Each structure stands twice: as structure tokens, then as C-alpha cells.
A and B are shown apart, each in its own frame.
Chain A
Amino acid sequence: MSATKVSGSEVRAPEIPGGDTNAPEVSADRARPGAPTRRGALPYVLLLPAVLWLLVLFLVPMVYQASTSLQTGSLEEGFEVTWHVRTYADAFGAYWPQFARSLLYAGSATLLCLVLGYPLAYLIAVKAGRWRHTLLVLVVAPFFTSFLIRTLAWKAILADGGTVVALLDRLHVLDVTGALGWTEGNRLLATPLAVVCGLTYSFLPFMILPLYASLDRVDVRLHEAARDLYASAPAVFRRVTLPLSLPGIVSGTLLTFIPASGDYINAELLGSTDTRMAGNVIQSQFLRVLDYPTAAALSFLLMAVVLLLVTVYIRRAGTEDLVR
């Protein structure tokens, strides 16, 4: 739980050595000769494992991939850095539809997660009482099985001959979704809707947990105060609950959107040739075509596009401004 509270925009600045004026006084009581240097180094020692971890498993691969994206060659002749920047332009020119699709699907899934997750998070935080912990465990329960198994389960649920398809067909829902281009004919599998549903399901807990964390911190007496001041229930929600839960919404949407835009398993298993996302292209370029530079360039492009969108989003929905 604590991890999710920290993960989003809720993050408080870590205590910087010497930044906290109280610290020296408090610890001065226990200070022994020679101790100050050790105390000063402690934060850095604590940081060391994480920094090393990131350095080895994030920074080094990033540099390696950046280099790969600027290479040309083949397996036989080897790959050399030739600063061939055109790879980026060519890759984007060829695969922009998959990029657009990634963002569209990830965006839709994030929106769906929010719509499904907010009421549930609210219920757990405010109304659940003694059921709260049970409900939270249930939210996390899907993680006890493998990601792959969960996605494959959707194939069984949405199967052509299955009850879900039969029911939606009888209710003429499929006619509507078909007209919108979300489904094809009388089926759900191998359609955009199935991929978006799969993404939504996969990342729903990442939305619910930060939402819960921030709703949990809303003081219920604020609701009572608002009601005392003659605010209607919708007004209380709009003016009190929603603004106070915005940090949770921001971190939830980020935690959902970012991994969803890079996902390829859902598109691979639940989609068709028309639903392939950027992740599928990267996988295929890397493993099938053996065009490592293009695969690396695509990875960086995806990262850049997502980073750009997220920056704009955080700027506009900057939690400091919103919470006021």
C-alpha cells in the first residue's frame, strides 16, 4: 500500500542531508565525537542500492539502446554506429498508425479504468467499513496469477460461441459497437474492443490503489461541513471530494496509461492484424526482422511520445495548482 501512495504525484521531497534544520538539534543529544560524518553519509548509503540498481538496469541498457538506434549493418557484418539518424524518421513514417493506435487504446483503457475504478475506490475508502481490507485484497487478487493467464482467460470469456457474445448480440449491443468500428460482425475477439477491455482489466488495480490512497485521506468531516453549508450531494462531490482526490487521479492515470501504451500482449492475444500496437512493432522488428536499429529507434520514439504527453498532462493537471 505504501508503495502506491508514494508512487504518484503524492511524493514528498526526500529529506535532503542538512536540509532539515531540526535534524542536527535532535540528534545532537546522541552525538558522539566523529559521528557527524557518518550521519551525513547515511542518506547516500541508503540511496546507493537504488542508484546502483537504476544505473545497471536502466541507464546502461538505455545507453546501449540509444547506440543501437544509431547503428547500421546486419547480423553477418555486424552493426556499427554510423549516426544514421534517418532510422528515426523512417521508423516513424512507416509505423505511425501503430503509434496512434497505442495512444488511442491506452487512452481509452485509462478512461475506462477511471470510470470503473473511481466508484470502487470511493466505496472502499469511505463506505466499506470493516470490509475495506477484504475488498483491497480482492482488488489485488488478480496479481496472484500470471499476467499471461489472465489475458488468456479473456479469450475464453469473449469466445465467439460464448455467452457474453450471445448476450450482447441479443441485446443488439454488437450492432452499435460494430457501427462504431469497435467490433466486427458478431464477434468480440480479434477486435479493438477486446484489446481495450483486456488493457483495462490488466491495469485496473494500478488505477484503484492510488485513487483509494488519496480518497482514504479525505477527512469525512469536510463532507459534513459542506452539507452543513447547504451543499447538495453532487456539489459536495464536485467541490470537495473530487479536487481532494485529484492527486490520486493523476497518479492513477499515469500508472495506467504509461504501461498500457507500451503493452503488446493484449494486442497479440486478443487483437487482429488491425489492432497491433507500437509494442508489437518493436517486438517484431527486434525478433523477427532482426532490424535492431529500427526496433531501438521505435522504443525511443515511444518513450519520447509518452514522455511528451505525460509532461503536458502534468503541467495542465499539476497537482499543486489543482489542490490549491
Chain B
Amino acid sequence: MYDGPRRVTQTAGSPRTAAALTRRSLLRATGAGALSIGPLGTLAGCGIPPARRGGDGPTAPDHSADEKRVVFSNWTEYMDVSEDGERHPTLQDFTRRTGIKVSYTTDINDNVEFFGKIRPQLAAGQDTGRDLVCVTDWLAARMIRLGWARPLNPANLPHAYANLAAQFRSPDWDPGRAHSYPWTGTATVIAYNARATGGRTVDSVSQLLDDPRLAGRVALLAEMRDTVGMTLLDLGKDPAVCTDEDVDAALARLRGAVDRGQIRRFTGNDYTADLDSGDIAACLAWAGDVVQLRADNPDIKFAIPASGYLSSTDNLLVPAGARHQTNAEKLIDHYYRPPVAARLAAYINYVCPVDGVRAELARIDPSMADDPLIIPDAATAAASHAFRSLGGAEETAYEEKFATLIGA
């Protein structure tokens, strides 16, 4: 549960925060009136302020010019590594070209956990100590909605602007990519261990939920949008336009499978080990993981259901309060140069959001340039669906129902 080294440079006593807090507690104390005696007053004094403070308004000063560094938080195994395992060639390349040092930390394991970690600082309007973070689109959407992501300056993003693949250009949660650029695309597909299924293919969500021969050996993802979205597709509904009733129907469908003991667990990234060992025979999985898994274990197969698959993106954002926004933007732009993008894609095997990367990738490994899981072909792209972005109240309601489904 512990993360790597963190560089959190909280400026606890920044004058703005201190003033806000004093005024706030003062108002609270007066508001609590008669109750403001002793402990009760203390209790009333510690509310959580509304999120939309600062937002797109006044930004923290940018120290990019005098501090040639940038702090980048990313997921584990999401960056190319040199042969000796010590360096990240594409990051080194960036430092060589721009003179900007990158503090690279892989302290993101899970979207909800990461949000829990940075929320208090963002809510208080403080610097999280990070200049660039990589989060899945629904969390990116939430951070933008709450005003916790800085609008990007297109002048620093010429390559990104020119090379972003068309399908990623205008998500409904960030029109025109004003705050975010995709790091990778991810596809949620079905994966199975052919040895554990006795050689049978598993290629639909219905089969995952109903096939008695898989009972107790199916895993679904603990990410609500992935599991519910794939079930919606299986029910013939489009997650891009689904209604409350559709979501309830999908949850009821899943509930039936859980109650029958069909589902073993709802997992995060840890399904990979169980699938590899065969404890899980079939599961919902992220395509990039499957590419990596099957390289070591030929029994691991994947299937894209006829009903389609769910695609999402992991996005780079500059969190509010970041000290080095310009440096962070230069780093985003670096990864939209096709040779750099190709080197990254060849290493991490996720969908590459950069146009013009195919030729570069073919130079590194021709088989990868033709892999639809890395550069989607027309048919694969057509089967892709996105979960629509949810409002705050809606999101909480769905997550609550889903939490009940997965046992808590």
C-alpha cells in the first residue's frame, strides 16, 4: 500500500489559505451560535469548502523559467525503461533537448486512491507537489469539473495539437482538449486462460455471467464504468447515452451473477496474477495488460465481444497549484513527437493516441504496427464505445449502487 518517494512540498502557511481558514472558522463559529461552546463548536468548524475555488480563474505563479524541472506522477509500468532497468530513455531524451529535469514518480496505483490522496490539498487550494498527473478520463473529467485542472496553453503544445488522433480530439468532458491530453488509450476486453477454460473460447459478457463451467472463476473489474459499461453493451445498450434505467438493468444482471456465485472477485490491476495462474479462468481485462501477459504465457487469450468493447483514456493533466505548468506542457508535447510516441508504445503496448506513429513503430517492431490493440484498425475502432461523462450527483449514485454490488 505504500507508494514510492513522494515529493509533496506543501506550503501549509501560504497567506491566502491562512486568511481563508480564519475567516471561515469565524463565520462557522458565529453561525453555530449557542452551540459554539466547547467541543461542539470545534466539530462545526471543520467543514470541507466547496470545490470550485480558483478554478479557471487566477493561477498560481509559474516558476518554469527559473526552475528547470517538472514533477510527473504516473502509473506503474507506464513508461519505457532502458535495458539495465535504471533509466527512462524517452524522459532522458526530453531532458537532453530542453534542459528540464524530470522527477518521475510512479505513485498512482488506482484512480480512487490517488484522488483520495491529492484531494485535501486541491480542496485547500494548495500545491500537490506535482506538475503533471496521469488519470483515467472519468477522474480527469471530475478534476476539470471541480476546477482542479489548469487550462493548458496551446502555444506550448504544437505537436500535441497537430498529432492528436481524431477519435480523441473532443471528449464531452473536455471539449477541444482545453485541460488534458491523452497519455494512452485503454480498451476493456475479455481475457481468458485457455488452460483453465479447457481450451474453450470466452467471447461475451453473457458467457462470463452465465456459463456454469466458469462458475466461481470469473473476475470483473472494480472500475464501475468498465464493468457496467461492458454489461450495458451486452444488453444492447450504448454506454454513451445510457439512462438510469439502463444502468439499473445492467446492475440487476450483474447482481444475479454475483448471487449465483458466478463471480469470484471484483479486481483492480491484480487480476493479472490470478489470470496467469488460472485461478481466474476468464475476466474483464485491459488490453495493454493482455498484450504483456500473453508475451509470457501463451495460454492467455483475449476476445473482443461482438457487442463491442469499452474504450477509455488515461490523460495528462496539470493539477491546480502546480509550480511548473510550462515545463509540464513541454513534456506533454514531447510525447506527441511520433518517434518518442512510438518508442513509448513499443514498450508499454497500450493504444497510442498519436497520429503518424505507425511508420515509426514499424521501424521498431513491424508486428506491433499491425496490432489492433496498439493502433486500432477501422473495424476495431468501430467496435469501441465510451461511457458518457457523469455529473457529480449521478456519479455518486452509480458508484454507491456499484459498491453495494461488489460487497461494500
A287 interface residue (CB < 8 Å to B): yes
- Evaluate whether A161 and B278 lie within 8 angstroms (CB atoms) in the complex, with A74-B393, A272-B265, A274-B407 already known: yes
- Evaluate whether A81 and B400 lie within 8 angstroms (CB atoms) in the complex, with A63-B42, A160-B279, A273-B263 already known: no
Q: Are A285 and B50 in contact (CB under 8 A)?
A: no
Q: Are A190 and B42 in contact (CB under 8 A)?
A: no
B181 interface residue (CB < 8 Å to A): no
Which residues of B have CB within 8 Å of A274? 407
Per-residue CB contact flags for chain A residues 258-288 toward chain B (1 = under 8 Å, else 0) read 0000000100010111111000110111111
B242 interface residue (CB < 8 Å to A): no
Q: Are A67 and B112 in contact (CB under 8 A)?
A: no
- Evaluate whether A66 and B216 lie within 8 angstroms (CB atoms) in the complex, with A161-B277, A273-B258, A288-B112 already known: no
Give the segment of A20-28, A128-136, A181-189 that binds chain B. Answer: A181-189
A71 interface residue (CB < 8 Å to B): yes
Q: Are A287 and B115 in contact (CB under 8 A)?
A: yes
Give the segment of A104-112, A166-174, A289-297 that binds chain B. Answer: A289-297
A76 to B393, CA, bound (A): 9
A274 to B258, CA, bound (A): 9
Q: Which residue of A lies closest to B405 (CB)?
A: A273
Q: Are A79 and B48 in contact (CB under 8 A)?
A: yes
Among B115, B116, B396, contact of A291 (Cβ-Cβ < 8 Å): B396
Q: Are B44 and A81 in contact (CB under 8 A)?
A: yes
Total residues of chain A contacting the partner, CB 8 A: 51
A40 to B27, CA, bound (A): 43
Among B116, B258, B405, chain A packs the most CB atoms within 10 A around the CB of B116
Among B2, B52, B273, B407, chain A packs the most CB atoms within 10 A around the CB of B407
Q: Are B47 and A155 in contact (CB under 8 A)?
A: no
Among A64, A276, A281, A289, contact of B46 (Cβ-Cβ < 8 Å): A64
* CB contact list, A63-89 vs B, under 8 A: 63-64, 66-68, 70-71, 73-81
Among B28, B51, B400, contact of A76 (Cβ-Cβ < 8 Å): B51
B54 interface residue (CB < 8 Å to A): no
Among B49, B142, B278, B407, contact of A276 (Cβ-Cβ < 8 Å): B407
- Evaluate whether A289 and B277 lie within 8 angstroms (CB atoms) in the complex, with A95-B408, A184-B216, A272-B265 already known: no
Q: Are B392 and A289 in contact (CB under 8 A)?
A: no
A104 to B210, CA, bound (A): 32
Among B42, B43, B396, contact of A74 (Cβ-Cβ < 8 Å): B396
B264 interface residue (CB < 8 Å to A): yes
Size category of the B interface is 35 or more
A120 interface residue (CB < 8 Å to B): no
A177 interface residue (CB < 8 Å to B): no
A159 to B400, CA, bound (A): 31
Q: Which residue of B lies closest to A279 (CB)?
A: B408
B302 interface residue (CB < 8 Å to A): no
* CB contact list, A11-66 vs B, under 8 A: 63-64, 66
Which residues of B have CB within 8 Å of A275? 407
- Evaluate whether A67 and B400 lie within 8 angstroms (CB atoms) in the complex, with A74-B393, A190-B265, A287-B112 already known: no
Q: Which residue of B lies closest to A75 (CB)?
A: B51
Per-residue CB contact flags for chain B residues 272-298 toward chain A (1 = under 8 Å, else 0) read 011001110000000000000000000
Q: Are B52 and A284 in contact (CB under 8 A)?
A: no
Among A95, A160, A184, A272, contact of B278 (Cβ-Cβ < 8 Å): A160
Which residues of B have CB within 8 Å of A78? 47-51
Q: Which residue of A lies closest to B391 (CB)?
A: A76
A233 interface residue (CB < 8 Å to B): no
Distance in Å: Cβ of B64 to nearest Cβ of chain A? 30
A80 to B43, CA, bound (A): 10
Which residues of B have CB within 8 Å of A184? 216, 261
Which residues of A have CB within 8 Å of B115? 287
Q: Are B408 and A185 in contact (CB under 8 A)?
A: no
Q: Are B47 and A148 in contact (CB under 8 A)?
A: no
Among B113, B279, B400, contact of A287 (Cβ-Cβ < 8 Å): B113
Q: Are B46 and A63 in contact (CB under 8 A)?
A: yes
A276 to B222, CA, bound (A): 14
Q: Are B48 and A71 in contact (CB under 8 A)?
A: yes
- Evaluate whether A290 and B408 lie within 8 angstroms (CB atoms) in the complex, with A67-B46, A159-B277, A190-B265 already known: no
Q: Are A272 and B264 in contact (CB under 8 A)?
A: yes
Q: Are A161 and B46 in contact (CB under 8 A)?
A: no
Which residues of B have CB within 8 Å of A148? 1
A129 to B2, CA, bound (A): 39
Q: Which residue of B lies closest to A277 (CB)?
A: B408
Among B28, B217, B264, B270, chain A packs the most CB atoms within 10 A around the CB of B264
B60 interface residue (CB < 8 Å to A): no
Q: Which residue of B lies closest to A280 (CB)?
A: B408
A266 to B201, CA, bound (A): 32
B406 interface residue (CB < 8 Å to A): yes
Which residues of A have CB within 8 Å of B157? none
Q: Can you give 22 contacting A-B residue pairs, CB < 8 Å? A: A63-B39, A63-B46, A64-B46, A67-B47, A68-B46, A70-B43, A74-B393, A75-B392, A76-B50, A78-B50, A79-B48, A95-B408, A160-B279, A185-B215, A185-B216, A187-B216, A272-B265, A273-B258, A273-B406, A283-B408, A289-B403, A290-B396
Can you name 7 extra interface pairs (CB under 8 A) apart from A71-B48, A76-B50, A78-B48?
A: A75-B142, A76-B392, A160-B278, A272-B263, A272-B264, A276-B406, A289-B400
Residues of A that sit less than 8 Å from B by CB: 63-64, 66-68, 70-71, 73-81, 95, 98, 146-148, 155-156, 159-161, 184-185, 187, 189-190, 265, 269, 271-276, 280-281, 283-292
Residues of B that sit less than 8 Å from A by CB: 1-2, 28, 32, 39, 42-52, 112-113, 115-116, 142, 145-146, 215-217, 224, 258, 261, 263-266, 270, 273-274, 277-279, 392-393, 396, 399-400, 402-403, 405-408
Closest 10 CB pairs of A and B: A78-B50, A276-B407, A273-B407, A281-B408, A79-B48, A287-B112, A67-B46, A67-B43, A81-B44, A280-B408
